[in-house]
Amino acid sequence: MRRRRVHRVATVSMHTSPLDQPGTGDAGGLNVYVVEVARRLAQLDIEVEIFTRQTARDLPPVVEMAPGVLVRHVTAGPYEELDKGDLPGQLCAFLSGVLRTEAMYDPGRYDVIHSHYWLSGQVGWLAKERWGVPLVHTMHTMAKVKNLLLAEDDNPEPKARVIGEEQVVDVADRLIANTDAEAAELIDLYGAAPARVAVVNPGVNLSVFQPASKGAARHRLDLPQDAHVLLFVGRIQPLKAPDVLLRAAARMLVDDPSLRERLIVACVGGPSGNGLARPDFLARLADELGIADVVRLVPPARQEELADWYRAADVTVVPSHNESFGLVALESQACGTPVVAASVGGLRTAVHDGVSGLLVDGHDPAAWAHALRSIVTRPSLRERLARGAPGHAAAFGWSATAARLAEVYTGALRRLHRVPLAVNS
């Protein structure tokens, strides 16, 4: 009986490009995921073509991101200043560009479609029907979950997104969940068939994010060697809850004013989502709390500089109201820096409580101040968690993620064609 392997994957990331800088706009963990997985799949001799919306007139139609990985820019709507909430109106135009690209080649160019986020899933659904190939979909975030865990000043996800996600869940051949908890949410909240849900943990780039000298990193970043550095990395929006860190820091200074001489609260990232409506929110909050002198607001950083920020910190703080996984937590731990994170979603997997960091229930600044103060003032605890952090992160390499995804692609093909399959035979 004929055996078939996965030669080429059409990856759909409509609303954000893998070439964008994570940490601002709509670029974040999804971008990192798409980039790292594509590169590792190419190393397995599986070519990847990533379809994303063109956001500038001067972008070339096709960019080779890495050997075996192409980024295809699809014209759909205005090049710039198009809010993510307006993108559903561009689904037809984007789909047309995707189908037009495939039509330029002989039939059978793509073996599998892997869509990321619900908008891309809508595109993948229709392309799947046209091409006769399986659709693998990764949610990354889910409207029903976000609406259950909203920050006080955040807006609920619209009904149209909920319906769109339900449709994608119904038609996808395989649904990728980052953790067992996310798999349960897909099944319980969206009625996904358990047999179609596969758990594939995201990873971390262990060649970039690895332990190195804290002193050297602080020197490069112009941070005092004796500082107590609390670090936030990510998009500035209510979902990520950077305000919880600032409120906790203010509480720490009330409880122990002597900390002010050495405390630095560094926030690396830019406004995103609902945070775009108040781009100066963190600066204003720092003023209101009386801690502007200890807060440093830093633009999004490339991976190499970001690794220095992790190494320079005493602790990385991830107070999100929800995370499907929490790549920032993994990156920090890979650099040898412990994490204090909210006990929500994928963070319960990304952080080994009591071994590589601490998990905090809820978002009460007093509870966060207590957890952070315990690390700042107890070197023995901080050093113990720092020793456990790299070992925990080492279990989450991107190569393992890509290998597991290749298995899922193969399973989806097997289901579609009902024939024995092999990834590389």
CATH no. for residue 308? Answer: 3.40.50.2000
Range of the domain at 244: 214-395
Tell me: do 162 and 250 sit in the same domain: no
Q: Where are the alpha helices (DSSP H) in 313-364?
A: 327-334, 347-350
Question: Which residues participate in the annotated binding site?
Answer: 15, 21-22, 26-31, 84, 117, 141, 161, 235, 240, 310-311, 313, 323, 331, 337
Residues 93 and 134 in one domain: yes
Binding residues for UDP-N-acetyl-alpha-D-glucosamine: 21-22, 29, 235, 240, 323, 331
The 10s digit of each residue's pLDDT in 253-300 is 999 999 999 999 999 998 866 656 677 889 999 999 999 999 999 998
Do 270 and 386 sit in the same domain of this protein?
yes
Which residue numbers belong to the known binding site for Mg(2+)?
310-311, 313, 337
Residue whose C-alpha is closest to residue 278's, from 156, 119, 155: 155
Average pLDDT of span 170-182 = 95
pTM: 0.86
**pLDDT-based confidence at residue 252 (cuts at 50, 70, 90):** very high
Identify whether residues 67 and 82 lie together within a single domain: yes
Beta strands 69-74 and 62-66 are antiparallel
Whether the per-residue pLDDT at 378 is higher than 80: the answer is: yes
Q: What pLDDT, on the 0 to 100 scale, is given for residue 420?
A: 46
H helix runs in 82-223, sequence order: 91-103, 118-131, 143-148, 159-171, 180-190, 214-220
| The pair of three-digit structure tokens given for residue 122, joined into one six-digit string | 């809508």
| Intra-chain end-to-end CA distance of the chain, in Å | 13
Neighbours of 423 (CB within 10 A): 18
- The reply to whether 67 falls in a domain is yes
Please check whether residues 338 and 413 belong to one and the same domain: no
> In this structure, which amino acid lies at residue 175?
L
Q: Residue 355: what pLDDT?
A: 98
Say yes or no: 218 and 242 in one domain.
yes
Same domain? 160 vs 83:
yes
424 inside domain? no
User: Are 386 and 409 part of one and the same domain?
Assistant: no
Helix (H), strand (E) at residue 116: strand 112-116
Higher pLDDT, 415 or 58: 58
**Is 293 within a domain?**
yes
pLDDT score recorded for residue 282: 93
pLDDT band of 79, cuts 50, 70, 90: confident
Percent of the residues in the chain that have a pLDDT greater than 90, as a whole number: 77
Task: Say if 313 falls within a structural domain.
Answer: yes
* Cα 193 from Cα 283, distance rounded (Å): 46
Would you say residue 2 lies in a domain? no
Q: Which of 18-22, 251-255, 403-407 has the lowest mean pLDDT?
A: 18-22
> How many folded domains does the chain comprise?
2
Whether residues 167 and 221 share a domain: the answer is no
Instruction: Please report the pLDDT score of residue 277 as a whole number.
Output: 61
Going by pLDDT thresholds of 50, 70 and 90, the confidence category of residue 416 is confident
One domain, residues 109 and 227 = no
Known binding-site residues for 1D-myo-inositol 3-phosphate equal 15, 26-31, 84, 117, 141, 161
- Chain mean position to CA 7: 26
On whether residue 339 sits in a domain, the answer given is: yes
Specify whether 65 is located in the same domain as 136: yes
Q: Over 90: is that where the pLDDT of 247 sits?
A: yes
pLDDT for residue 241 is more than 50: yes
Give every CB contact of residue 355 below 8 A, 6+ residues apart in sequence.
385, 388, 392
pLDDT at 284: 95
Given pLDDT bands bounded at 50, 70 and 90, which one contains residue 422? Answer: very low
Residues 244 and 183 grouped into a single domain: no
Q: What is the pLDDT of residues 334-364, one digit of tens each?
A: 999 999 999 998 999 999 999 999 999 999 9
Give the pLDDT confidence score for residue 150 in this predicted structure: 75
User: What is the structure's pLDDT at 21?
Assistant: 67
Measured in residues, the chain has a length of 425
423 domain-assigned? no
Would you state the pLDDT for residue 85?
75
| Domain membership flag for residue 61 | yes
